[in-house]
Structure 1
Amino acid sequence: MNIIIVNPVAGKGKAAKMYRRIQRDHSYKAENCRAFFTQEEGHAERIARQVTEIYQDTLSSIIVLGGDGTLHEVVNGARSYPSIPICFLPAGTGNDFARGLGLRERGLPLFRNMIRRPRIHQLRLGCYDLHGRKRNGTRLFLNSIGFGLDGRIAGRVTKSRNKGKRRLFSSLTYPAALLASIRNSAPIKVDLDIDGVFYPGREIMMLTIANHPYFGGGDEDSAARRFNQRRV
């Protein structure tokens, strides 16, 4: 069985249109695919947790049809079953993960290859604790995690999407959030421990910890040239 988790509003409805094309393809029924649709933020994580617990013995893969946020939720929801492959059909606004991994195919051709000739990558994931409290559970991230201005920009983009605002060009989403966030930004104080070297009380405007070269809708971080991965 292959479970497809679809975020129907990802990419301004692009994910829903892509799913309809995939559903009509012969491979969908031939490979025993079943779809679940998300309804709100956090829903993809709950779906992933439930399907891995219920179908762990018969589940061939989880296919994520949405954006980087949907993928982030699924990775955290399925973390208790790391042997179950997670596949990604990018249909969001930024699609940084797809760029970092070098995915060139999209849509139905990519789906067919995932089902028939999958390429397996083993990735080293980043982790963090919410509010410094272990009881909240360690979280995983695939792309990057940001603090200060970076975090404010990401929060503004998410808030805009949740309000259902439509933008004429998706390429303007992150620059617009940057301009709106930078006006009220102030430095934050952090303690850094980098490769065993401690830097206490540094004031910074922005801190980004990246797992691959792209963030913010495709901006390249020249300091991170390759995805933190091992090919298996």
Structure 2
Amino acid sequence: MQVLFIVNEAAGNGKGKRVWCHLQRYLTIDYQVAFTEYEGHGQELAKKCAEDTRTKKLIVVVGGDGTIHEVVSGVLHNEFIIIGVVRAGSGNDFARYFTTFKNVKQIETYLQTEMANKTMDVGTIHLGALRHEIFVNNAGVGFDAFVTKHINKSRLKFYLNKIGLGKLSYAVAVVRGLFSFERFDVIIQANEQEWQFQQAWFVAMSNHPYFGGGMKISPSSKPNDGQIEIIIVHSIPRLKLLLVFVTVFFGKHTKFKEISFLQGNQFDIFVHANDVDCHTDGNYLGEIRQGTRIHCTVQRDAWQLISKNY
């Protein structure tokens, strides 16, 4: 069995390097390793590994949600590639729901089995006619992407990671941005139905429950049911939104009348505002122009994940 470790040493402000050094010390199997060197490199490495293969390969990702996003993007609909993950990021939302490896023993035990796996969906957003992006965990338009943009610019995440509190960077950025974000109106269409929301904070598209470093934004989401959940936070005062974010960590926000949930296999989203931010899996994509059609769909059985059988 061929094994490739794709390692992002910079993940979690250096946690990726520390985790890999620890793993490497105890590995007794034959393996290859490749290190990501720039944004998008994980996708290139995974795609190269998957090319022309006719036997099962295990790719073990050592990194965070962004690295996982890149690797999965590079192996979509490849029947021979199985993905395993050793978490080494700061938010690690993927690891809160999906099966991951905790140590070398689990990796080596898995390789001694019949390599059982399960297929997972990915979401896809089409931004106009020319650009599309996938998401493994979730995508978002509005405040969550606005927060992501400012986290990426800030040194706060770096310092919080240094003391093991990196996941709090999202919550701190939420409080900071609460009074500067401009809300927007949005129209969502699906199956000849239309929903209009005023003063929206964000529209989140979820393939599994967690985002933002542990917030259980979409408790009912399952990554292999052929459905995408849309969560719209709208018409809510700024200070009350802070209360909502606290309850999201426990999945209790579903009781608020200002939070709406939609479910389906495709949606069209139209934002009525100038330049609203957008992200996928915490990767900031840029600003969406007013009137842009955001077409959200799901790709069934798009990639293979290890099964927990060790």
- Shorter-chain TM-score: what band? 0.7 to 0.9
Deviation string for 1:145-180 (max 9, x for gaps)? Answer: 11100111122223347x983323213211122122
Give the Cα separation in 1 of the matches to 2:36 and 2:187: 37
What is the aligned counterpart of 1:142 among 136, 139, 142? 136
1:100 to 83, 88, 97: 97
Deviations 1:23-59 (A, max 9, x none): 2334332xxx111111122111121122222x62355
Q: Tell me what 1:45 maps to.
A: 43
Q: Which amino acid aligns with 1:197?
A: Q
Instruction: Give runs of aligned pairs for residues 1-232 of structure 1, distance below 5 A.
Output: 1-29=2-30, 33-53=31-51, 56-58=53-55, 60-79=57-76, 81-101=78-98, 103=100, 106-117=102-113, 118-129=115-126, 131-133=127-129, 135-136=130-131, 138-160=132-154, 165-167=158-160, 168=163, 169-194=165-190, 196-200=192-196, 202-221=198-217, 223-229=218-224
In structure 2, C-alpha distance between the alignment counterparts of 1:14 and 1:78, rounded to whole Å: 25
C-alpha separation in 1, matches of 2:47 and 2:11? 21
Q: 2: CA distance between counterparts of 1:37 and 1:59?
A: 21
SS, match of residue 47 in structure 1 = helix
Per the alignment, residue 291 of structure 2 pairs with none
**Any unmatched runs of 5+ in structure 2?**
226-304
| Structure 1 or 2: more strand by fraction | 2
Higher helix share: 1
Residue type of the alignment partner of 1:125? V
The amino acid across from 1:156 in the alignment is: H
**Structure 1 residues 182 and 113: CA distance shift in structure 2, 3 A:** farther
1:195 deviates by: 5.4
> Which region of structure 1 is more displaced relative to structure 2, 201-210 or 143-152?
201-210
Shift of 1:16: 1.5
Distance 1:42 1:123, change over 3 A: same
SS of residue matched to 1:61: strand
Are the equivalent residues in 2 in contact too, given 1:18–1:108 (CA < 8 A)?
A: no
Q: Structure 1 residues 198, 113: CA separation in 2 closer, same or farther (over 3 Å shift)?
A: farther
Q: Would you say how many aligned residue pairs link Structure 1 and Structure 2?
A: 222
- 1:9 partner amino acid: A
Distance 1:211 1:197, change over 3 A: same
Matched-pair contact (CA < 8 Å) for 2:208–2:221: yes
The TM-score with structure 2 as length reference comes to 0.64
Identity of aligned residues (%): 27
**Letter aligned with residue 158 of structure 1:** N
CA distance in 1, matches of 2:99, 2:83: 16
Task: Give the direction of change, closer, same or farther, for the CA distance of 1:211–1:159 in structure 2 (3 Å limit).
Answer: same
